[in-house]
Structure 1
């Protein structure tokens, strides 16, 4: 593998056999190297495959990030994989850049409040747990104690990477989940127990339901007789689902299909009445 361009001692651009550029990083892998020199593949710790249009800007930003943050990001993403998260490769750069900025802010005494902290913790527990581990890694490696709010920011990076979405996408989906859950709480006058399996299933359903609405994706249709049976058998949850449908249409212009309403009814019934038993 030959070097196409040296960015710094730890980062270089290489060109694959099909002409695609990749950025590779590893401690000292490009030290004393020049374009055209052979690269020791064993020295590569991370590889970033890029689209041609984004290579220059991506590489420039990557070259400006201290290598220690790339190392930390590699460890965090390993923990995320062990936790069962499937993440796209672009998160490595954005997360490393965020860590570097977060440490700088903390050292300067500039604390950034995270207004989405509790919702992120509640709706994305796996991502949040990995983010808490990230704070521990930063403390151990850099002796910097990042504020707890940073766990929410880091978790959001992982949420975005897991859904291959933008930050605004994840923020809107989280807000939709929050508003739907609030309607359920007020409709039934109860607070769901976040430790129960049915709550976990409900939150998972809400996440994908909100994503489908935001992306204007339709789910499979459901037999009309089955929908009629659901609405007849679970009348109170069905009325709650209809209230949610009306709210989403009036507030955002979303159209909730009968099939979506039916599945939402079943999840509401399970959440509310199994808890009450």
Structure 2
């Protein structure tokens, strides 16, 4: 049985479960005409999560209590779309951070406070799906408020989604985007060509770089010694691309003191070759 400890708004409560553990429960109208001490039907709960400790529970409670329920509902819709499109489980923090951000974004725009995001172009190129979800969110907000939001705000929303996908913190998300785009600029400059952003090869390269950067930052070596014959063949036939992969490995060593393994270099070389082969 789930028992309410505190009503945050019509769509959110802090409660306890059968083991007397504290949880946050979300659901449309879940707390309508409810109060502390009453039980709630589990089929009314659309999403629940367990804060790490009592301090975290209090922090979440205070934040959600100050958020208009419409932003919680909108966030839940966007989060569901993000889960479906990415196939990834998002961290529970997004259920608090996103509605809080959306409400603040509306308040800022009403006051004429525009906050620029210098990574908008990079985010559009590196995380196009999340950026489009950010744009969809702004469309919903525009219908609700009559306000016109800049693309930079779509970037801010995308970063919350990316952070939740990767279980990271926002500052690390910004660093990841910056690093991926540094690599893309190196590849473009050394190949002396512009990327076809709509090509499958470009999408595969960016996806590979995302996981590559994650492994670097988590210092997870993926060491599968490549077949020497294959490795020598790749170096010979894709020599220009191999030199680019080596340049990227040098950047990684200098910035993170992380040695990029031979197999990482091999796969990176292949992805660079694929994008180079696109006319």
Same fold by TM-score greater than 0.5: yes
Deviates more, 1:246-255 or 1:185-194: 246-255
Q: Offset of 1:4 from its aligned partner?
A: 2.1
Displacement after TM superposition at 1:17 (Å) = 1.4
Alignment correspondent of 1:22: 23
TM-aligned CA deviation for residue 41 of structure 1: 4.1
Moved more, 178-187 or 142-151: 142-151
Q: 1:176 aligns with which of 175, 179, 188?
A: 179
Name the SS of the counterpart of 1:4 in structure 2: strand
Deviation per CA, 1:11-37, whole angstroms, max 9, x where unpaired?
A: 321111123211123455434533321
- Quote the offset at 1:78 in angstroms: 2.2
Q: What is the match of residue 189 of structure 1? A: 192
Q: CA RMSD in A?
A: 1.9
CA shift for structure 1 position 40: 4.1
1: CA distance, partners of 2:193 / 2:29: 58
Alpha-carbon offset, residue 243 of structure 1 = 1.5
Aligned to 2:40, what secondary structure does the other structure show? Answer: coil
Aligned residues of 2:15 and 2:25 also touching (Cα < 8 A): yes
Shift, 1:159, TM fit:
0.7
1: distance between equivalents of 2:142 and 2:104?
A: 15
Contact 1:123 1:203 in 2 (8 A): yes
CA contact (8 A) 1:23 1:49 kept: yes
Q: Within the alignment, does 1:49 sit opposite 2:53 as a pair? A: no
Q: Which residue of 2 aligns with 1:2?
A: 3
> TM-score, normalised to structure 1's length?
0.92
Partner Cα separation in structure 1 for residue 141 and residue 165 of structure 2? 22
TM-score normalised by structure 2 residue count: 0.91
Task: Classify the secondary structure of the residue corresponding to 1:17.
Answer: coil
Match of 1:262 in 2: 266
1:239 matches 2:248: no
Structure 2 residue corresponding to 1:154, chosen from 150, 154, 157: 157
Say if 2:125 is the partner of 1:122.
yes
Q: Can you give the 5+ residue segments of structure 1 that lack an aligned partner in the other structure?
A: none
Q: Residues 20 and 52 of structure 1 are in contact (CA less than 8 Å); yes or no, is this contact kept in structure 2?
A: no
Residue 200 (1) aligns with residue 198 (2): no
Secondary structure, counterpart of 1:83 in structure 2:
helix
Q: How does 1:79-228 map to 2 (within 5 A)?
A: 79-86=81-88, 87-225=90-228, 226-228=230-232
Q: What is the deviation of 1:9? A: 4.6
